[in-house]
Amino acid sequence: MAVTLAELAERFQCRVRGRPETVITGVAALETAGPREITYVSDKRHLGLLPGSAAGAVILTAADAAHYSGTALISDNPRLCFARVAALLHPGAPAAPGVHPSAVVAAGAVIDPSAAIGPLAVIGAGARIGAGCVVGAGCVVGAGVGIGARSRLVSRVVVNDDCVIGADCVVHPGAVIGSDGFGYARDGERWVKVPQLGRVVIGDAVEIGANTTIDRGALGDTVIGDGVKLDNQIQIAHNVRIGEHTAMAGCVGVAGSAVIGRRCTVGGQAGILGHLEIADDVHVTAASLVADSITEPGEYSSTLKAEPAEAWRRKVVRLSQLDDLARRLKRLEKEISELSKENKT
Amino acid sequence: MAVTLAELAERFQCRVRGRPETVITGVAALETAGPREITYVSDKRHLGLLPGSAAGAVILTAADAAHYSGTALISDNPRLCFARVAALLHPGAPAAPGVHPSAVVAAGAVIDPSAAIGPLAVIGAGARIGAGCVVGAGCVVGAGVGIGARSRLVSRVVVNDDCVIGADCVVHPGAVIGSDGFGYARDGERWVKVPQLGRVVIGDAVEIGANTTIDRGALGDTVIGDGVKLDNQIQIAHNVRIGEHTAMAGCVGVAGSAVIGRRCTVGGQAGILGHLEIADDVHVTAASLVADSITEPGEYSSTLKAEPAEAWRRKVVRLSQLDDLARRLKRLEKEISELSKENKT
Amino acid sequence: MAVTLAELAERFQCRVRGRPETVITGVAALETAGPREITYVSDKRHLGLLPGSAAGAVILTAADAAHYSGTALISDNPRLCFARVAALLHPGAPAAPGVHPSAVVAAGAVIDPSAAIGPLAVIGAGARIGAGCVVGAGCVVGAGVGIGARSRLVSRVVVNDDCVIGADCVVHPGAVIGSDGFGYARDGERWVKVPQLGRVVIGDAVEIGANTTIDRGALGDTVIGDGVKLDNQIQIAHNVRIGEHTAMAGCVGVAGSAVIGRRCTVGGQAGILGHLEIADDVHVTAASLVADSITEPGEYSSTLKAEPAEAWRRKVVRLSQLDDLARRLKRLEKEISELSKENKT
């Protein structure tokens, strides 16, 4: 695909500085972009690379454009503009509508004629696959599952019976939606399984990373709000509710019945314990553990940072001595108070 | 299915208070249960919701039943009773016995006629699939694998060659049983693979979560005891041994050759280092790291809890100043001791 | 397979002490090895088990051999020697070359005649599968993927379009290579996906564990160097670069654009934040979080170790009191300084 900068500016409501007739055929990184490619800078630290760039054009804020003499597309939000330009120029290979002959589709599944069901996919009885959906190779879609228009299960995704996925979602390989929650009752030393009877209900425009797992509700549903973005290898337990537009980085774990607000961000490897509530606009730093409800927006952390091991181990030893330090401090306070009194008398 | 409360009471050895002729057709949550549904309360915090419930019956302890005027099923362990009632009323769709025509079964595999092999499953040579087993869509069962009666591989499970799964197990989608352990020998800067020649041997009534991985032994076996429950995304390394009825929450990692006792519980995201032993009845809190053997039952922790980030960062800075604090405290002790002496002279 | 100790000694350049005519047919653990099996000791702690061993031979260093009177294979690096002997004696079942009739191979894929494509594998258009490769059951290999000679995708592996895997690699079940990176631009409260247009490029002799995920680059590639070993359930984000012969244990997470040196080791559950650089020969302890670039080789840590929960909680409380302790210490210093002055006057 080839477009001029002028066309891009009109389509995405931004402004050309320099040569609007420049033809752009693709996007590339700042360091590698050639004369028919467009790139962007949104981080001040990369401004220094601009003079060396051979890019046909660079998407920049008006302020940053002052650091660059070449052709630029001026945008208030260069990264957003870049995302849209990239999606336009690199739409991905379209999937051919229809059901691959090797797929196994149960009687009673309703597949929109514009949907594409890939090789060796399995579609259960009563599943409803919306217009323009792609169910990639090796996916297993259970009985009664509903998938909204234009959603894409990339490949080898499992969606268990009766779960619901909205429109415009993307689910990456290895993700499992609707596995049983971890619910048991004790019977002496044994664990007796509590049947997991709820569903997973996923909104629109949700993206779910590779090998992420989302358990179905025990009773009632696990609910993922519109626009939520989950990275790879995240575990969402039963009956969790995640508010709209919340994003979680890789390897996060969320325990059962946690209720998470809207527009939150959760750093990689963070954990959220169960049966608690997190307000809207809460940001949890990487590898932190949220153990109590959070009622105020803001940043929360229990992150520790690696340092040279010897120094770290000394700190840990010091931590063990805190009881002792506190005791000695208390004794000193007493002694000084007595000395003080003696001095005054 | 429809049963009367009287029938439930008889079957599960509990007692009706109120109308034993109440017909129950399903289970539901306290807030949503209707007049033909049964629910339960096992957590005192939920007693306040009882008056508003429209449930046909509520499973309660005798003590808690005093807070409720409606029809109740009185049980010493309401959650356990509920689990059993739910399993009775919601048994899940039965899988039709037989091998789906799209499955690929190697010569020499022995599949009980009452077992159900789903679409696009692969069964290796010499595998033995027991009575009433379900091997779901897209599972890959290796050569020589044995699976005991009534066990269920939900879908897209991998069980590598020669591994053994007992009776009445459930393995959720994406789980991998019998992958190679992480074993290498150094050869200068290179790593040379140590062949992983053992198996995974899983007892009876074990449940294994979605995308959980269990490596085969290097020499000898990785052993998962009867009744063990593993949640999603757990990693069990080679030659680990887990004692009976131990339960681990999501995202736990256990390193090689760790030996874990019976009836332990391990919180989400906890880690257990290798070549150590953990006694029976040990409980590890979420996100803790067990780095040394534990010989006594009890609760163990290295959990930190997230707090407002600014406060947390101040604490981390203070931790860095402990060396300095300790030094200053020591100096003060010396000064005071001298002052004291001076005062006495 | 049966070999004499003399043959092993010659092939692997080590020395027999005792009976070189001993016939060896397999390897086993020290405790279980019989008279036709060979074992090894590389850890001094296991020397005590030697006298009780019924092994046909034991691989030992010359120094350790002094603790053993039986037949021994003397090697400078017993574990390495053992790895090679084990690979010779237990080569694994060879895969029959050819494409299984149930596999789905797109037009234009180029599969070497010596490669083995397993049941229900999917190979995309233009993929190139090298000599001696094994693509196991249920793997999904995308369009344009290249896989070097003798590499093995064990089963149910996904390699997305255009990714490249070198020669002599092993990829375990459930691994996903080339999933989209986690890249979004903000648009008010919404997240807009940034197309992920790069690849994953994997060198030679790389091993990738079960359910490990490696995201494709956003622009440019994610690069895994020759000889890298990744354990199970590791998450590698977009545009990460890992240097040659680096090894990571299970459940590690690496965030976007991190650049990791050669010969590093990363302990289980450790995390590495994005946009940083780690030097060669850095060793990160288990469950640590690397949050800043590391420029010097050595060991780095933020590991905490679980202890009895009550003691741990007391420490955490003490940590909260550090502000107070520091304030009180400062006050004492002032008071003592004044007392000192008074005493002198």
**Cα–Cα nearest to B303, from A223, A241, A290:** A290
| A76/A163 same-domain check | no
**Percent helix, percent strand, percent coil in chain A, to nearest 5:** 20, 30, 50
Determine the average pLDDT of the residues in C7-16: 96
Residue A340: per-residue pLDDT: 82
Q: Can you tell me the distance from the alpha carbon of A303 to that of B20, in angstroms, rounded to the nearest whole number?
A: 55
What backbone torsions phi and psi does residue B154 show, to the nearest 5 degrees? -60, -55
Residue C272: per-residue pLDDT: 98
Closest-CA distance, A312 to chain B, in angstroms, reads 9
Answer yes or no: is A266 within a domain.
yes
| B163/B207 same-domain check | yes
Answer yes or no: is C82 within a domain.
yes
A316 with C329: Cβ contact below 8 A: no
C122, A120 Cβ separation under 8 angstroms: yes
B202, B177 Cβ separation under 8 angstroms: yes
Q: Are strands B176-179 and B158-159 parallel, antiparallel or unpaired?
A: parallel
A271 with B262: Cβ contact below 8 A: no
Determine the average pLDDT of the residues in C134-140: 98
Looking at A62, A89, A116, which one is the last position of a domain? A89
Which of B76, B100, B120, B232 has the most A C-beta neighbours within 10 Å, making it the best mutation to test the interface with A? B232
Chains contacting A with at least 3 CB pairs below 8 Å?
B, C
Closest-CA distance, B181 to chain C, in angstroms, reads 8
Q: What is the CATH number of the domain that holds B157?
A: 2.160.10.10
Closest-CA distance, B61 to chain C, in angstroms, reads 31
Determine the average pLDDT of the residues in C230-251: 98
Residue B3: strand pairing partners: B24
Q: Which residue of A has its CA nearest to C101?
A: A102
Tens of pLDDT, residue by residue over C244-273, are 999 999 999 999 999 999 999 999 999 999
Q: Can you tell me the distance from the alpha carbon of B32 to that of C321, in angstroms, rounded to the nearest whole number?
A: 46
Residue A341: per-residue pLDDT: 84
Model pTM score: 0.97
Q: Are strands A146-147 and C98-99 parallel, antiparallel or unpaired?
A: unpaired
Tens of pLDDT, residue by residue over A224-258, are 999 999 999 999 999 999 999 999 999 999 999 99
Task: Please identify which residue in the block is written with the tokens 């499955």.
Answer: B103
Task: Please identify which residue in the block is written with the tokens 């289980």.
Answer: C268
Answer yes or no: is C147 within a domain.
no
| B150/B223 same-domain check | yes
Closest-CA distance, B187 to chain A, in angstroms, reads 26
B269 with A273: Cβ contact below 8 A: no
Answer yes or no: is A99 within a domain.
no
Residue type, C99: V
Q: Can you tell me the distance from the alpha carbon of A179 to that of A215, in angstroms, rounded to the nearest whole number?
A: 5
Residue B345 has pLDDT above 80, yes or no: no
Residue B112: per-residue pLDDT: 98
What backbone torsions phi and psi does residue B343 show, to the nearest 5 degrees? -60, -35
Q: Please, what's the largest Cα pairwise distance for chain C?
A: 101
Tens of pLDDT, residue by residue over A104-143, are 999 999 999 999 999 999 999 999 999 999 999 999 999 9
Active-site option among A172, A238, A245, A283: A238
Select from C84, C138, C305 the Cβ nearest to the Cβ of B138. C138
The reply to whether C333 touches chain A by the CB within 8 Å rule is no
| B157/B232 same-domain check | yes
Tens of pLDDT, residue by residue over B178-231, are 999 999 999 999 999 999 999 999 999 999 999 999 999 999 999 999 999 999
Token pair listed for C61: 């260093």
| A243/A162 same-domain check | yes
Answer yes or no: is A324 within a domain.
yes
Q: Can you tell me the distance from the alpha carbon of C13 to that of B140, in angstroms, rounded to the nearest whole number?
A: 40
Answer yes or no: is C141 within a domain.
no
For the beta carbon of residue B304, count every other beta carbon within 10 angstroms: 22
| A321/A255 same-domain check | no
Domain span holding position A328: 309-344
Tens of pLDDT, residue by residue over B23-68, are 999 999 999 999 999 999 988 889 999 998 999 999 999 999 998 9
Helix (H), strand (E) at residue C10 = helix C5-11
Active-site option among C172, C238, C245, C275: C238
Q: Can you tell me the distance from the alpha carbon of A162 to that of A168, in angstroms, rounded to the nearest whole number?
A: 19
| A269/A317 same-domain check | no
Q: Which residue of C has its CA nearest to A321?
A: C315
The reply to whether B180 touches chain C by the CB within 8 Å rule is yes
- B22's CB contacts (< 8 A; 6+ apart) are B4, B5, B56, B57, B71
| C282/C329 same-domain check | no
Determine the average pLDDT of the residues in B126-147: 98
Q: Is the dihedral of CA C174, C175, C180, C183 positive or negative?
A: positive
Determine the average pLDDT of the residues in C180-184: 98
Q: Can you tell me the distance from the alpha carbon of C230 to that of B158, in angstroms, rounded to the nearest whole number?
A: 19
Determine the average pLDDT of the residues in B300-327: 94
Q: Which residue of B has its CA nearest to C329?
A: B329
Residues of A within 8 A of C104 (CB-CB) are 100, 102, 119-120, 137
Q: Can you tell me the distance from the alpha carbon of B309 to that of A111, in angstroms, rounded to the nearest whole number?
A: 49
If you ran DSSP here, which 8-state letter would residue A47 be given?
G
- C244's CB contacts (< 8 A; 6+ apart) are B189, C203, C225, C226, C227, C228, C262, C263
| C182/C246 same-domain check | yes
| A206/A256 same-domain check | yes
- Reported ipTM: the value is 0.96
A 40-69: CB under 8 A from B: none
> Count of domains in chain A?
3
Q: Can you tell me the distance from the alpha carbon of A263 to that of A261, in angstroms, rounded to the nearest whole number?
A: 7
Residues of A within 8 A of C273 (CB-CB) are 268, 286
Residue A343: per-residue pLDDT: 77
If you ran DSSP here, which 8-state letter would residue B50 be given?
G
DSSP characters over B296-316: S-EEEE-----EEHHHHHHHH
Q: What is each CA distance from A88 to A30, B320, C121, C195, in whole angstroms? A: 19, 50, 32, 10
A303 with C291: Cβ contact below 8 A: yes
Token pair listed for C188: 């008010």
Q: Which residue of B has its CA nearest to A344?
A: B343
B189 with C262: Cβ contact below 8 A: yes
Looking at A74, A89, A104, which one is the last position of a domain? A89
A310, B312 Cβ separation under 8 angstroms: no
| A195/A278 same-domain check | yes
The reply to whether C125 touches chain A by the CB within 8 Å rule is no
Residue B340: per-residue pLDDT: 82
Tell me the percentage of chain A whose pLDDT exceeds 90. 91
Answer yes or no: is A98 within a domain.
no
The segments of chain A whose pLDDT lies below 50 read none
What is the band of C215 on the pLDDT scale with cuts at 50, 70, 90? very high
Answer yes or no: is A254 within a domain.
yes
What backbone torsions phi and psi does residue A129 show, to the nearest 5 degrees? -110, 120
What is the band of B338 on the pLDDT scale with cuts at 50, 70, 90? confident
Token pair listed for A241: 């509710």
Q: What is each CA distance from C118 to C94, C141, C209, in whole angstroms? A: 12, 12, 19
| A223/A326 same-domain check | no
Task: Please identify which residue in the block is written with the tokens 């520790």.
Answer: A304
The reply to whether A233 touches chain B by the CB within 8 Å rule is yes
Token pair listed for A120: 């060796």
Buried b (16+ CB within 10 A) or exposed e, C138-152: bbbbbbbbbbbbbbb
Looking at A89, A112, A142, which one is the last position of a domain? A89
Q: What is the CATH number of the domain that holds B52?
A: 3.40.1390.10
Q: Can you tell me the distance from the alpha carbon of A270 to that of B287, in angstroms, rounded to the nearest whole number?
A: 9
Closest-CA distance, A340 to chain C, in angstroms, reads 7
The reply to whether C327 touches chain A by the CB within 8 Å rule is no
